[in-house]
């Protein structure tokens, strides 16, 4: 039994690169599609926002001499590439998926519209919302907070490479401990970098809870959707 009727799943672009260090790892993509199919088969309505860090990030582009706004636009295009890749993998797995984009680029994707997205979700299609917010200086975390709120998702599921939110970076600090749950205020007060401040503040102001979990562990997405305490729950 699914605990949620409608979810917004945030996937980072970086996790799509798998062990390659760049681009799209076909195996990882297929594995993600299989996990998404599992919950689609349970009747969960699924909106997805995917990052672009495996291809291009505006901020690092700017550090390398690119114009920031053009760099961010390149980053948004990177999210469109990842969205197409995921929709293709979902199609191959027998899951109907459509890509909507925050920036007009038909026929690559349909221009995003809240009501069209909800109609598709209610028909059982997975809706992948590309290009983040469509604006520079934002991230796909903020894009996923925004879309999660707009499509009236019950929860944002943030699939990452770590199994939740820690007191410090567990890859650098062996004494770091994991939170089972934490409030938005504490995330902000402790300066925990689970999402950027804008994204966390938007979820807080609009009461969208977040479950942070390790998406690289097959079966975890289903466990979270079934209500198992996998990862860290961020709440008001």
The contact set with ligand UDP (CB under 6 A) reads 12-14, 51-53, 57-59, 71-72, 75-76, 78-79, 132-133, 135-136, 138-141, 143
Identify the burial level of 154 via C-beta atoms within 10 angstroms of its C-beta, where 0-12 means exposed, 13-18 middle and 19 or more buried: middle
CB of 230 to ligand UDP, least distance (A): 20
Q: Report d(CA 131, CA 203) in Å as an integer.
A: 19
Overall size of the chain counted in residues: 236
CB of 29 to ligand UDP, least distance (A): 14
Contact between 170 and 160 under an 8 Å Cβ cutoff? The reply is no
Nearer to ligand UDP, 2 or 74 (CB): 74
Select the residue whose beta carbon is closest to ligand UDP and give its number.
Answer: 51
Nearer to ligand UDP, 133 or 200 (CB): 133
CB of 105 to ligand UDP, least distance (A): 15
CB of 20 to ligand UDP, least distance (A): 14
* Beta strands across the sheet bearing 232-235: 110-111, 97-101, 126-130, 45-50, 6-11, 155-160, 210-214, 232-235, 181-183
Nearer to ligand UDP, 24 or 230 (CB): 24
Nearer to ligand UDP, 70 or 96 (CB): 70
Alpha helix stretches (DSSP H) within the chain = 13-16, 26-40, 58-63, 68-92, 114-122, 140-150, 184-189, 197-205, 220-225
Q: Specify the DSSP element, H or E, that contains 129.
A: strand 126-130
Nearest Cα to 216, choosing from 16, 61, 38, 1? 16
Nearer to ligand UDP, 35 or 73 (CB): 73
CB of 103 to ligand UDP, least distance (A): 10
CB of 135 to ligand UDP, least distance (A): 6
Nearer to ligand UDP, 76 or 128 (CB): 76
């Amino acid at each position: 039994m699914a605990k949620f009727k409608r979810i917004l799943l945030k996937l980072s672009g970086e996790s799509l690169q798998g062990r390659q260090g760049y681009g799209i790892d076909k195996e990882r993509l297929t594995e993600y599609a299989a996990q998404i199919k599992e919950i689609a088969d349970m009747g969960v309505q699924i909106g997805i926002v995917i990052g672009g860090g495996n291809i291009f990030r505006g901020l690092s582009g700017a550090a390398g001499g690119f114009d920031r706004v053009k760099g961010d636009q390149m980053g948004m295009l990177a999210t469109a590439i990842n969205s197409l890749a995921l929709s293709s993998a979902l199609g191959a797995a027998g899951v109907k998926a459509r890509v909507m984009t925050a920036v007009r680029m038909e026929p690559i994707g349909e221009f995003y519209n809240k009501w069209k997205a909800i109609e598709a979700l209610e028909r059982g299609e997975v809706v992948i919302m590309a290009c983040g917010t469509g604006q520079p200086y934002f991230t796909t975390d903020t894009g996923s907070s925004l879309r999660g709120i707009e499509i009236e998702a019950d929860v944002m599921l943030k699939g990452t490479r770590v199994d939740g939110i820690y007191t410090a970076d567990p890859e650098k600090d062996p004494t770091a401990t994991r939170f089972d749950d934490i409030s938005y205020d504490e995330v902000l007060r402790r300066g925990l970098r689970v999402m950027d401040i804008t994204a966390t503040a938007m979820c807080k102001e609009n009461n969208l809870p977040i479950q942070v979990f390790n998406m690289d562990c097959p079966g975890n997405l289903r466990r979270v959707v079934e209500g198992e305490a996998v990862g860290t729950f961020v709440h008001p």
